[in-house]
Amino acid sequence: MRRRFVIGKILGALSTLVFVVVFNFFLFRVVNDDPINSMFRGRNLTPEQLDRLRVKFNLDGTKWEQFVAYVRQLLHGDLGYSLKSSRPVSTVIAEAIWPTILLVGTSTLLAMLGIALGYRAGWRRGSTFDATATSVSMLTYSMPEYWIGMVALGVFAAGLGWFPVGGLNDPGSTLTGLERILDQLHHMILPATVLAVAYIGEYMIVARSAMIDTSREDYLQLARAKGLREADVRKRHAQPNALLPVVSLSAINFGFVLSGAIAVESIFSWPGIGQQTQFAIAGPDFPMLQGLFLLISAAVILANLAADLLYGYLDPRVAGR
């Protein structure tokens, strides 16, 4: 992979991140010119108390002075203080990020099953398996994750009682060690499955389409002419080349999975980034929203950078090699 290609992609990602930082700062100031007054409306605070709060949260001075202070804080890893809890935003995010990574990571791995289904359906185009898998995938792809979550919660948690209705652990739980881990896994089964079902159809459809396009290539006929078995032709030649669109989809979907997790975490009371976003919107807690928006945007930019570099590695023509 050419060094110029890698450097160009990294610089592009950094420039996008800089734009996000600037946009992130001014967006919430345009939406509300005085977040302190909005947040503490009806608290009967004196003007002096409101001024002290503005100084504490770096909301005093001109917009340029606030922006300089904001960038200086970011360079030191400081995302400010939550208006709602008066705790550092970075601390709140650090506590919430691991439950979200656990949930989103597990659901993404489960959704990858759609790739295998799509490859098989595309390779056996027109078969009964292809028709069935495509129909089911279109059905799940058309259903919003919040609707799937509410149905699953009502049927399997509230109705049948097979799973907890929400949370990462039971309230007041004193479990430790392996028992605690198993309890958390029990709590995670339903929300992780809901997220996986919401996205498995899309992976299947894209993988099927990529496999159908790849199966028409001449080099597959050449591989068959060399005497390779059909299974080897699919695994060694068709699937690796059909992987490229799936890589792009995975990176693009990363942000959508996080946004979907907001709805699922709210429904299942999962203590992650999604639930914190809901709380911040309800506040409204502008410093927390700024921090969450920056985190999600940076994660999407990083995922797309990784996809671009991986794409260049899988297809040297993209990197100009």
pLDDT score for 85: 77
> Is residue 14 pLDDT above 80, yes or no?
yes
pLDDT score for 314: 66
> Is residue 1 pLDDT above 60, yes or no?
no
pLDDT class for 316, splitting at 50, 70, 90? low
DSSP structure string for 8-55: HHHHHHHHHHHHHHHHHHHHHHHH-S-HHHHHTTTS---HHHHHHHHH
pLDDT score for 281: 79
> Is residue 310 pLDDT above 80, yes or no?
no
pTM summary value? 0.75
Distance CA 151, CA 143 (A): 11
Segment 183-212 shows an average pLDDT of 85
> Is residue 54 pLDDT above 80, yes or no?
no
Distance CA 70, CA 25 (A): 8
| Tokens (6 digits) for 97 | 């990020």
* Predicted confidence (pLDDT) per residue in 211-257, tens digit: 887 777 777 777 777 777 777 777 776 777 777 777 777 776 666 66
* Domains delineated in the chain: 89-314 (1.10.3720.10)
pLDDT score for 97: 84
| Tokens (6 digits) for 219 | 């080099």
Nearby residues of 244 by Cβ (< 8 Å), 6 or more positions away: 210, 311, 314, 315
* Predicted confidence (pLDDT) per residue in 79-115, tens digit: 877 877 778 888 888 888 888 888 888 888 888 888 8
* Predicted confidence (pLDDT) per residue in 152-181, tens digit: 888 888 888 888 877 777 776 676 778 778
Longest CA–CA separation in the chain, Å: 85
pLDDT score for 39: 63
**Nearest to 280, CA basis, from 264, 268, 266:** 266
